[in-house]
Amino acid sequence: MTTVKRKKISASLEKLARGIRDSDEFVGHIASIADRYKREYVLETGPRGKDVRRTLKLFRKHASGLTEWFAQAAKPSSLEFEALAKIGGVMHSAPNQTLASTVTLTSWLDQAEKAAAVAETRLGSKTARNAPQIAVEALRATFERHGLKWSTQLSKANSSDAIKLLCAIAKGAGETLSPEDARETMLAARPAKI
């Protein structure tokens, strides 16, 4: 049986995790959450975030242009229609099959352009931070998996285990997250009740 190499975490985070649940599997899950938090935090705050935003903007520009091009290709009198027919001929497909497949492609491009706009907004916004939200969702799933009580209780004297973990994970990534901010993030990330 092969063993999975566990991600490295700080001694203080491991001690905190083991204090909640003394299990290698639980500590491994916390290590994965901490690693993902760190990657998201670097992406949000580092120079790569600007490059990703620029790339998303470029994608949106090209997706928009292709969507317009395919809309023109639907008109039989257009040059785009003729070009698409030539492409279809080289690909050995019927002209109507090539045009029909562009409908699916156009729908995907439109959906992807909208998703890219949302992703670009999230990366550009200083208030909409992905790292804490992703960590909260992962922590909640980890607590459920291990049968631990999920709590967002916070008092002057004590914080819940989930809040302590989220603050420690943020600290490991180089971010200062107060227990109040951690609780606020947890409450905002609550799943919708059905």
pLDDT in tens, 25-78: 999 999 999 999 998 888 777 767 778 888 999 999 999 999 999 999 889 999
Helix axes 79-90, 95-124, angle to 10 degrees: 110
- The pLDDT value recorded for residue 164 is 95
**Is 90 exceeded by the pLDDT of residue 143?**
yes
Amino acid present at 55: T
Distance CA 184, CA 110 (A): 34
Mean pLDDT of all residues in 169-178: 90
- The region that residue 2 occupies, defined by phi over 0 for left and psi between -120 and 50 for alpha, beta otherwise, is beta
130 or 62: which carries more pLDDT confidence?
A: 62
pTM for the structure as a whole:
0.59
Distance CA 190, CA 140 (A): 9
**Is 60 exceeded by the pLDDT of residue 4?**
no
CA distances from 83 to 68, 107, 111 (A): 14, 20, 25
Amino acid present at 36: R
The total number of residues written for the chain in this structure: 194
104 or 97: which carries more pLDDT confidence?
A: 104
Note whether 180 and 154 are within 8 A (CB): yes
